[in-house]
């Protein structure tokens, strides 16, 4: 272990290794366009340049710790060595380009920074790496751009000359930058806004949560009184978005000037510095109202979500409250999914806390979709890794703590990991408590506390926190599922179905789990037709042996005993240890006594004795 590495213990009693390092980042100028022109020649030329760079790293003590496409990230022990290496690299690349036709010339940018980094095995990440990447984005083609910390050190020990570019803002980061003077390049004393903006656009990777603006809803009806209704929905929607605290939300006062404004969406977004716009309209006819809402990704200028509600205006405030809540509840998952879809375009070496959180959430969602236990566990460990990175970069990002807590809760419950149950439970409790202390009004934080009480056998507190989570956000899928299961346990099947269906509408990714709970509700109601539909949908998603037993049970209750016997035989082929009714009673889901009796009675009718 390098003697300069400092080991620090984080909030979870884990050791995080940090050190000060000199970071060298380079990539090819216009690599994508070169690949489009001639992929084979571009790759051939790039490999030749990489050979030059690798030889220089060997000479000057550079260690490559990450690569992504045409990007190379290296660590140096010496700031002087890094700058000399960069200067020699650009010199040798220029000499090589003199011998080539224009179409085959490759140019590089280089950024160098000295700063704090987090050590993870052979990899490095954190602010020190992020700033180096931003300096690389500011660099001229064929040039070297470096931070003040590097310049101050190297200026005293070498004959290099530097051009002071002043403080530059690149993607919400202020960097005091310097160019390494090169007589063959334009001398820049300061960088204009255009260049800084281009560098910001290039650095999409180091992002923060996107900003949402809810524009004033438009009244399309002839009734001027509907202006108040439209304004009320606008105000309430902004309020519900703000309560989530996941995304920054533009204030009502800032968006009001765009009421009945015909400016282009792009111009409005730029003025408000918004990444997503929520726009809606109201159309009234008699006692009916149609409310239409759409969500636009302003960077790509594409609509990513829309919904229409038709309501009767018996209670204006009830409709206003319902729709504004649903807009917030349904639009936010759409934004998360859209943000996750952009991750493959980003370079992992400069991921921000938000990016790491998105990765963690993506892995956690994949766990829900996976059908094999080992695959589920793999995704959970990926989620934990990215959540911990996110927290290391931003210790106040509540959402990252919540993904980490949910992942640890999964590990605590997983039967194949019972040897680590105590360890996982201890960590889960600690993370859940930190998350709740950061934001007691975040429904995921509240739900993690609810599960903490549940595994502590405090059902009163569990119920209290589930109800609190639903009260905070009546469309939060995790809270709705938990409250729906409470109703299921109490044999209140109609209320359970209503809540579980709402959870599904808000987050379709939870379908497999919710479908099983709905199946139990239909069984409890002796609604064999709906139960049959549920089990068939579940088997299309996952042909697990448990569903073969449920199928046999439903068919038996429908009086189709011969067919039920076939499904029971199929179940026993996969579960040969289930030979008697007593055996099945040991594994039957303990939802409530009524459903348990229905399951046992059905499997008995199918022929299990």
How far is Cα 493 from Cα 523, in angstroms, rounded to an integer? 9
The count of other CB atoms within 10 Å of the CB of residue 590 is 10
How far is Cα 14 from Cα 8, in angstroms, rounded to an integer? 8
pLDDT of residue 514 exceeding 90, the answer is no
With cut-offs at 50, 70 and 90, classify the pLDDT of residue 270.
Answer: confident
Please, where are the H alpha helices in 179-281?
A: 193-202, 226-244, 252-255, 265-272
How far is Cα 210 from Cα 376, in angstroms, rounded to an integer? 29
108-143 tens-digit pLDDT: 999 999 988 888 778 887 888 888 988 998 899 999
The count of other CB atoms within 10 Å of the CB of residue 157 is 11
- Cα-based distances in Å from 422 to 385, 413, 426, 427: 20, 11, 6, 9
With cut-offs at 50, 70 and 90, classify the pLDDT of residue 459.
Answer: very high
354-364 tens-digit pLDDT: 888 998 998 99
pLDDT of residue 573 exceeding 50, the answer is yes
pLDDT at 540: 84
Identify whether the C-beta of residue 594 lies closer than 8 Å to the C-beta of residue 524: yes
How far is Cα 551 from Cα 564, in angstroms, rounded to an integer? 7
Q: What percent of the chain clears pLDDT 90, i.e. is strictly above it?
A: 47
pLDDT of residue 201 exceeding 90, the answer is no
pLDDT at 240: 86
pLDDT of residue 11 exceeding 90, the answer is no
Kindly write down the DSSP assignment for every residue of 317-358, as one continuous string.
HHHHHHHHHHHHHHHHHHHHHHHHHTGGGS-GGG--HHHHHH
CA-based max dimension of the chain: 93
460 φ, ψ (degrees, to nearest 5)? -65, -50
Identify whether the C-beta of residue 322 lies closer than 8 Å to the C-beta of residue 313: no
Mean pLDDT of 347-356: 70
What are residue 109's DSSP bridge partners?
A: 27
Return the minimum-mean-pLDDT range out of 312-316, 348-352, 427-431.
348-352
Q: Note every long-range contact of 381-387, with CB atoms under 8 Å and residues 24 or more positions apart, other chains counting.
A: 383/407, 384/360, 384/408, 385/360, 386/356, 386/357, 386/359, 386/360, 387/356, 387/357, 387/360
| Domains, the chain, with CATH or none | 6-202 (3.30.70.1230), 212-332 (3.40.50.10610), 352-475 (1.25.40.10), 495-609 (1.25.40)
pLDDT at 3: 47
With cut-offs at 50, 70 and 90, classify the pLDDT of residue 203.
Answer: very low
Mean pLDDT of 561-570: 94
| Mean of the per-residue pLDDT values of the chain | 86
Q: What is the dihedral of CA 312, 313, 316, 320, to 10 degrees?
A: 30
Q: Which residue has the tokens 């989620």?
A: 383
pLDDT of residue 6 exceeding 60, the answer is no
How far is Cα 536 from Cα 407, in angstroms, rounded to an integer? 29
pLDDT of residue 162 exceeding 70, the answer is yes
The count of other CB atoms within 10 Å of the CB of residue 241 is 24
378-419 tens-digit pLDDT: 999 999 988 888 887 778 889 999 999 999 999 998 878 888
With cut-offs at 50, 70 and 90, classify the pLDDT of residue 544.
Answer: confident
pLDDT at 568: 94
The count of other CB atoms within 10 Å of the CB of residue 1 is 8
């Amino acid at each position: 272990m390098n003697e300069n590495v400092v080991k620090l213990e984080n909030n979870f009693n884990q050791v995080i290794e940090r050190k000060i390092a000199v970071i060298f980042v380079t990539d090819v100028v216009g690599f994508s366009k070169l690949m489009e022109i001639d992929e084979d020649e571009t790759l051939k030329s790039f490999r030749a340049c990489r050979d030059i760079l690798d030889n220089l790293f060997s000479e000057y003590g550079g260690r490559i710790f990450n690569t992504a496409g045409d990007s190379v990230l290296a660590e140096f022990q010496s700031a002087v060595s890094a700058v000399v290496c960069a200067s020699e690299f650009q010199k040798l690349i220029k000499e090589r380009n003199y011998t080539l036709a224009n179409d085959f010339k490759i140019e590089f940018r280089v950024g160098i920074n000295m700063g704090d980094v987090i050590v993870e095995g052979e990899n490095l990440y954190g602010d020190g790496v992020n700033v180096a990447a931003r300096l690389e984005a500011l660099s001229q083609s064929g040039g070297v751009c470096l931070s003040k910390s590097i310049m101050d050190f190297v200026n005293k020990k070498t004959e290099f000359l530097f051009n002071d570019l002043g403080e530059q803002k690149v993607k919400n980061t202020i960097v005091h930058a310097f160019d390494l003077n090169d007589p063959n390049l334009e001398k820049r004393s300061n960088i204009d806004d255009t260049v800084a903006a281009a560098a910001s656009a290039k650095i999409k990777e180091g992002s923060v949560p996107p900003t949402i603006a809810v524009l004033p809803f438009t009244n399309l009806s002839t009734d001027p009184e509907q202006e108040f209704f439209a304004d009320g929905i606008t105000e309430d929607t902004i309020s519900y978005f703000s309560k989530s605290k996941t995304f920054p939300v533009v204030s009502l006062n800032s968006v009001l000037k765009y009421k009945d404004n015909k400016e282009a969406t792009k111009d409005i977004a730029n003025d408000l510095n918004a990444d997503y716009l929520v726009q809606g309209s109201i159309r009234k006819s008699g006692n009916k109202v149609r409310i239409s809402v759409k969500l636009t990704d302003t960077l790509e200028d594409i609509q990513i979500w829309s919904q229409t509600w038709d309501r009767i205006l018996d209670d204006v405030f009830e409709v206003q409250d319902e729709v504004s809540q649903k807009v917030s509840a349904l639009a936010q998952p759409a934004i998360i999914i859209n943000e996750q879809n952009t991750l493959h375009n980003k370079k992992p070496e400069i991921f921000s806390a938000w990016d790491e959180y998105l990765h963690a959430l993506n892995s956690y969602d994949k766990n829900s979709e996976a059908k094999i236990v080992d695959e589920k566990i793999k995704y959970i460990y990926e989620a934990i890794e990215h959540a911990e990175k996110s927290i290391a970069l931003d210790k106040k990002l509540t959402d990252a703590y919540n993904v980490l807590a949910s992942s640890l809760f999964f590990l605590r419950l997983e039967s194949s990991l019972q040897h680590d149950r105590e360890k996982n439970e201890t960590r889960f409790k600690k993370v859940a408590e930190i998350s709740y202390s950061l934001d007691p009004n975040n429904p995921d934080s509240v739900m993690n506390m609810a599960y903490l009480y549940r595994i502590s056998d405090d059902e009163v507190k569990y119920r209290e926190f589930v109800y609190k989570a639903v009260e905070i956000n009546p469309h939060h899928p995790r809270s709705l599922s938990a409250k729906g299961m409470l109703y299921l346990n109490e044999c209140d099947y109609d209320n359970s179905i209503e809540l579980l269906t709402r959870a599904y509408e808000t987050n379709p990714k939870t379908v497999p789990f919710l479908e099983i709970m709905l199946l139990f509700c239909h069984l409890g109601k002796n609604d064999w037709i709906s139960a049959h539909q549920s089990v068939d949908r579940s088997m299309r998603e996952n042909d697990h042996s448990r569903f073969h037993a449920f199928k046999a049970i439903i068919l038996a209750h429908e009086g189709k005993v011969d067919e039920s016997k076939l499904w029971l035989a199929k179940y026993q082929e996969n579960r040969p240890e289930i030979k008697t009714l007593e055996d099945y009673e040991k594994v039957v889901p303990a939802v409530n006594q009524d459903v348990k009796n229905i399951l046992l009675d059905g499997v008995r009718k199918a022929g299990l004795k």
